[in-house]
Amino acid sequence: MSKRILIVHATGGMGHVTAAKAVTEVFQTEYRDVEVKNVNILDYANRFYRTVFVDGYNWLSTNEPALWGRLYKIFNNPSRQKLPTVLSQWAIEKRFITFIKEFKPDFIISTHPLPMHIISHSKRRDVIDIPSSMVLTDFGCHSYWVDSEVNFYFVATDDVAKCLVNYQVKREHIVVTGIPIEPKFTATIDRKKIAAANGFDPDKFTLLIVGGQFGYGEMVKIIRQVRTQRREAQIMVVAGRDTQLQAALDQTDITGDKNVKVFGFVSNMHELMTAADVIFSKAGGLTVSECMAKQLPMVIHKVIPGQEEDNVSYLAAKGAALRAGSIDEIISHIVTLAGDEKKLAEMKKSCAAISRPESARALAKFSYQHS
């Protein structure tokens, strides 16, 4: 008789979505007796709530990060969490719980606190009685991720486990698996092959820049200064879905530099990470975990207050990342690492030490055994 696993995410930051996708993939490929469903809880919300939830988070984190940081701290107190919880119950609970009753899962995995609280509320009222779990997708913790009805918590590190214990979670309910990343980030890939495909020398220092943080002028300054100060450096730039940035970069003289390659949206980030020695990127929990799995030191700037602060503090303390407070400091960090093989090797070793590449498999195995 097959088991049924329900994985629930919310589109408030892509990390929650990617974590859910990673665990879903493991169940689909490695557990033939499991029927798994991965759903976005916002599909069960009314249009108004869905729009406010997604657009509100994106706008705050992008345009008003300081305000987002203050809200993060304000709501890190259970007494202040009633309003958002009640609103979500009003907007989502009836349709979502109806779906759960129809699917009849043996185990529920939430990668975002929104579905976790709705599930817990229904369990508390004896509407459903299903083992449920919460996946924390950052290297810190917040009281909003905690509810007494949650059976298990999957966390990144022992430090996060201790943080949850401080919020009255019993240690035996916490499993240190790491943050679940897609299996492709654990696969062995030939660096020489990827470098050659991009016209690069696999033996030369290669920087990977993932866009979305800067405008055209700042990005060009970083690229030009690194190439000027380290002529042997090779640079890959991923503009992602920022088509304006990609178009602007394509109009500059850097496109004539054989040691610089500009990409738009890519589906092979795991391959580009393999070809890189350092990454300049945002510090979301999933991105960090993917970089650690690839033993890829990070240079980080423009940290969003809240979760990303926790992530950067952890990485810096472990020697796996350098934080930059300005464009000039970004350039300085990159140029230094490009010319200091010993320092770079030490940072790669630090990345390997804190990496948990099999996190998705560990989480899936535990969930299967307890379903």
Tell me, what's the pLDDT at 336? 97
Closest C-alpha among 282, 276, 278, 290 to residue 187 = 290
Q: Which amino acid is at 347?
A: M
- The tokens for 347 are 């940072």
Average pLDDT over residues 238-254: 81
pLDDT higher than threshold 90 for residue 52: no
Q: Dihedral sign for Cα 73, 51, 155, 188, please.
A: negative
pLDDT higher than threshold 80 for residue 89: no
Same-domain pairing of 303 and 236: yes
What is the model's pTM? 0.92
Same-domain pairing of 173 and 204: no
pLDDT higher than threshold 80 for residue 78: no
Same-domain pairing of 163 and 268: no
Separation in Å, CA 23 to CA 236, 294, 362 = 29, 19, 9
Domain extent, residue 32, equals 3-179+357-369
- Most distant pair of Cα atoms in the chain: their distance: 66
| Distance between first and last Cα of the chain | 13
Tell me, what's the pLDDT at 10? 93
Same-domain pairing of 241 and 117: no
Same-domain pairing of 219 and 144: no
Same-domain pairing of 208 and 276: yes
From edge to edge, which strands make up the β-sheet containing 3-9?
A: 34-40, 3-9, 107-110, 132-135, 152-155, 174-176
Tell me, what's the pLDDT at 12? 75
Same-domain pairing of 149 and 168: yes
Same-domain pairing of 310 and 175: no
pLDDT band for 31, please (50, 70, 90 cuts).
very high
> Can you point out the beta strands (E) in 281-353?
298-300, 321-323
pLDDT band for 194, please (50, 70, 90 cuts).
very high
What is the overall mean pLDDT for the chain? 92
Tell me, what's the pLDDT at 226? 95
Same-domain pairing of 296 and 362: no
Tell me, what's the pLDDT at 213? 64
Same-domain pairing of 109 and 228: no
> Can you point out the beta strands (E) in the chain?
3-9, 34-40, 107-110, 132-135, 152-155, 174-176, 206-210, 234-238, 260-263, 278-280, 298-300, 321-323
Rounded to whole angstroms, the Cα distance separating 201 from 26 reads 34
Neighbours of 95 (CB within 10 A): 13
pLDDT band for 254, please (50, 70, 90 cuts).
confident
CATH code of residue 87: 3.40.50.2000
How many structural domains is the chain composed of? 2
Tell me, what's the pLDDT at 337? 97
Same-domain pairing of 263 and 365: no
What does DSSP say about strands 206-210 and 174-176: parallel, antiparallel, or unpaired?
unpaired
3-state secondary structure of 134: strand
- The tokens for 181 are 């990343």
Average pLDDT over residues 304-318: 93
pLDDT higher at 79 or 266: 266
pLDDT higher than threshold 80 for residue 313: yes
Same-domain pairing of 299 and 333: yes
Closest C-alpha among 58, 173, 72, 159 to residue 113 = 72
Which range scores top for mean pLDDT: 42-46, 74-78, 221-225, 319-323? 319-323
Average pLDDT over residues 98-108: 97
pLDDT band for 55, please (50, 70, 90 cuts).
confident
What does DSSP say about strands 174-176 and 152-155: parallel, antiparallel, or unpaired?
parallel
Average pLDDT over residues 328-343: 96
pLDDT band for 72, please (50, 70, 90 cuts).
confident
What's the pLDDT tens digit per position in 119-167?
999 999 999 999 999 999 999 999 889 999 999 999 999 999 999 999 9
Average pLDDT over residues 102-119: 96
Rounded to whole angstroms, the Cα distance separating 144 from 152 reads 15
